[in-house]
Structure 1
Amino acid sequence: MEWMFLILAGLFEMLGVAMINKLNKERSWRAFLYMAGGFALSFLFLSQAMKVLPMGTAYAIWTGIGASGGAILGMVIYGEPRNLPRVLCIATVLAAAVGLKLAG
């Protein structure tokens, strides 16, 4: 169950980051509430996952999902550049997070 919590934490982190971008483009209470709710749920699920998972592993996976997911959302939704170096960097972040899990 802790891995499901960790995945949910990463997905809500992605929501929060996407809403920061939306808030920078247009100020709205709805975007602010989604941002605050996304980050709140992200921390809630991360804390639940860390009751069982080691801190280093949980944090690495959480930040990996958030950072990679945010970059992917930027490319897919906001038209940010899609090129091989960016995709390779995203893959490296995800591989490093998986590597931490496998090594520990």
Structure 2
Amino acid sequence: MYWVFLVLAGLLEVGGVINLKLTEGFTRLRPTIFFIICMGLSFFFLSVSLIEIPISIGYGIWTGIGAAGSVLLGMFLFNEPKNWKKLALVGGIIFSIVSLKLIS
């Protein structure tokens, strides 16, 4: 169950980052509220997952999910540049996440 909490924390981090972009410098209320909620829940679920998962593994996976998810959603939601190099590097992050899970 702790791994589910960790993945949920990572996905909520992605939601927080996307809403951070939408806040336009915290000038828009709704995305600001969603940002606070997503990041608060993300930290909560991360802390719960770290009860059982070592910090070195948990934090690495949490940040990896956040980084990869933010890059991919940025490309598709905000029309950020897409190229094979960026996708290959995101693939490397995903490979690293899976590898961290497999060694723990």
Identify the TM-score tier after normalising by the shorter chain: over 0.9
RMSD: 1.4
Partner of 2:102: 102
Partner of 2:78: 78
Change (3 A) 1:25 1:83: farther
Partner of 1:32: 32
Partner of 2:63: 63
2:13 is equivalent to residue 4 of structure 1: no
**Aligned residue runs from structure 1 range 6-21, under 5 A:** 6-21=6-21
**Normalized against structure 2, the TM-score is what?**
0.93
What's the offset of the Cα at 1:25?
6.9
Unaligned runs of 5+ in 2: none
Identity of aligned residues (%): 37
Distance 1:97 1:5 in 2: 15
Kindly report structure 1 stretches of 4+ aligned residues shifted beyond 4 Å: none
How many residues are paired up?
104
